[in-house]
Structure 1
Amino acid sequence: MSWHTDPMLALDTESTGIDIETVRVVSAAVIHVSRDGAIPTTWLSDVDGQEIPAEASAVHGISTEHARAHGRPAKAVTDEVVSALRDAVSVGLPIVGHNVVYDLSLIDREARRHLGHGLGDALPLDEMRVIDTRVLDQHVLPRRRRVSPTQGPRQLITVAAVYSLAWDEEAAHGSEYDALMAARVAYRIGSLIEMPREQRPQFELGRYQQFEQLRGLDINELHARQVVMAKEQAAGLQAHFRKTDPQAVVDGRWPLIPFAGTAVTA
């Protein structure tokens, strides 16, 4: 028995951009995943009447017009997403996602904007356990090259292929699909961690594998290890970027980037 066989809550958001301090949640999904199946809850926000940039719409397929016509008030969506996370933490369900530090930090900013408080005021962050498939994948398979000039080695589509998971491009990049795929990747990585190396299918794994380093960990130990791994991975990426940009900074705080300001504007 290992953490990957226990129930978990998969999380994903789609947003208006990439800057967690300014962008808005467009859609969100949480999926309760267990041996009995997957139970999704999804939200579409009206983004407070904000514009959804064309480049963001091109990724998740949600236009400004659609969000305004069919989305619910952003405050209500934020409150319900935060409540879902609080309920999960209260019963010990870990939160799983791909690069989930982005999603949790974005939800924190939306909570500050609409509810007047951050995630740390809504739930006990020290009790929250997180499984981040991007952090785990980069650790267990540290030397994987880009598969194409436009597709990075740690994108969810790439990670899914590496672990032999089918990818539906038409459904992809929606919050529900991406949350479920992250849960499936987490299960696959967990299975490979506990599998003896000689039994492990090689497919795209290659020579450089570090699955054994995470073997036998419970969810508390795995969470703690990811805090360290995320910091180390960010430091390595920052060093790489500084070869061309001496001022480059990569934030390695995980699983939530603390809010540094005094207020988030509506």
Structure 2
Amino acid sequence: MTKSPTGFDATRMLSFDLETTSANPLEARIVTSALVRIDGRSVDAVEHLADPGVEIPEGATKIHGISTEKARAEGRPHDEVLAETVQRIKRAWEDGLTLIVYNASYDLTVLRQLTGDFTVTGPVFDPYAVDRIKDPYRKGSRTLTSMCEHYGVELGNAHEATADALAAARLAWKQVRQWPELKRMSTGELMEFQAVGYHDRQSDFARYLAGRGKDASTVNTSWPMQG
């Protein structure tokens, strides 16, 4: 992984979001992929609709609004969208940008299970993980919609991939202003901060479930991808 002594630069980001066929990242296939590249004053947003090659469950369609019929009629081949998504992420890292992903352990696990070999070779900033680590005792939901309300960020159409990606970038910008020590961390320090903090929060959640007689075996403690 590329090391950066200068820390996180909130003016140079690639914000990334997927809408998929399943909430389980080990089974999901891409329906839409959005990548918003922010480099100084330049903002370039790209969104791809994919034909996932399988039926899109009704529950997933209710979330993101894309039916099997629409994806088949208008979507690009799934593997083309996957390959271009990974290519743009890798190029952003090569160019020194930070990848912004809300709940990175989901989206990046999807990429790994679909490609078989996706690896993280550059910095990742996950507003979901950062919020849980920095403000662990705040009550209420930590969905993207709730987080945007808490931080005063405009969301637009929730579960529309580009809107979600833009919102994640705005959350990251707000968080480094609220906790300026985040942007002073090197790449290695930032990644370790999120990985260790995510593991601790998830381990606490697993103990909470176990203490109430509930199954905690499916709680993922690995960040930025499921182990």
Larger CA deviation: 60-69 vs 244-253: 244-253
In 2, Cα distance between the equivalents of 1:173 and 1:36? 26
Q: Where does residue 23 of structure 2 map in the other structure?
A: 18
What secondary structure sits across from 2:179 in the alignment? helix
What secondary structure sits across from 1:96 in the alignment? strand
Shift of 1:217: 1.9
Unmatched runs of 5 consecutive residues or more in structure 1:
113-117, 147-152, 195-211, 259-266
Shift of 1:129: 1.0
User: Are 1:130 and 2:124 an aligned pair?
Assistant: yes
Question: Which AA in structure 1 matches 2:139?
Answer: R
Q: Which has the higher strand share?
A: 2
Question: Which AA in structure 2 matches 1:226?
Answer: Q
In 2, Cα distance between the equivalents of 1:37 and 1:252? 36
Cα-to-partner distance string for 1:195-229 (whole Å, 9 max, x where unaligned): xxxxxxxxxxxxxxxxx6x4732333211211111
User: Are 1:167 and 2:135 an aligned pair?
Assistant: no
In 2, Cα distance between the equivalents of 1:9 and 1:215? 16
Given candidates 206, 209, 215, the residue that maps to 1:238 is 206
| Contact 1:31 1:41 (8 Å CA) reproduced | yes
Q: 1:255-266 maps to which residues of 2 (within 5 A)?
A: 255-258=224-227
Given candidates 177, 189, 201, the residue that maps to 2:175 is 189
What value does the CA root-mean-square deviation take over the aligned residues? 1.7
Q: Structure 1 stretches (4+) deviating beyond 2 angstroms?
A: 243-247
- TM-score when scaled to structure 1? 0.78
| Contact 2:155 2:163 (8 Å CA) reproduced | no
Shift of 1:35: 2.7
In 1, Cα distance between the equivalents of 2:38 and 2:187? 16
Given candidates 19, 40, 47, the residue that maps to 2:45 is 40
Given candidates 9, 28, 32, the residue that maps to 2:33 is 28
Q: Where does residue 78 of structure 1 map in the other structure?
A: 82
Aligned length: 221
Shift of 1:235: 0.3
Unmatched runs of 5 consecutive residues or more in structure 2:
1-5
Given candidates 166, 174, 184, the residue that maps to 1:180 is 166
Shift of 1:94: 1.4
Question: Which AA in structure 2 matches 1:216?
Answer: R
Question: Which AA in structure 1 matches 2:40?
Answer: R
Shift of 1:174: 1.0
- Kindly indicate whether structure 1 or structure 2 has the higher relative contact order, using CA contacts under 8 Å at least 6 residues apart: 2
Shift of 1:8: 1.0
| Contact 1:31 1:180 (8 Å CA) reproduced | yes
- TM-score when scaled to structure 2? 0.91
What secondary structure sits across from 1:119 in the alignment? coil
| Contact 2:98 2:123 (8 Å CA) reproduced | yes
| Contact 1:21 1:109 (8 Å CA) reproduced | yes
In 1, Cα distance between the equivalents of 2:196 and 2:172? 18
User: Are 1:248 and 2:213 an aligned pair?
Assistant: no
In 2, Cα distance between the equivalents of 1:233 and 1:32? 30
Cα-to-partner distance string for 1:67-115 (whole Å, 9 max, x where unaligned): 0000011111111111111111222221111102210110111213xxx
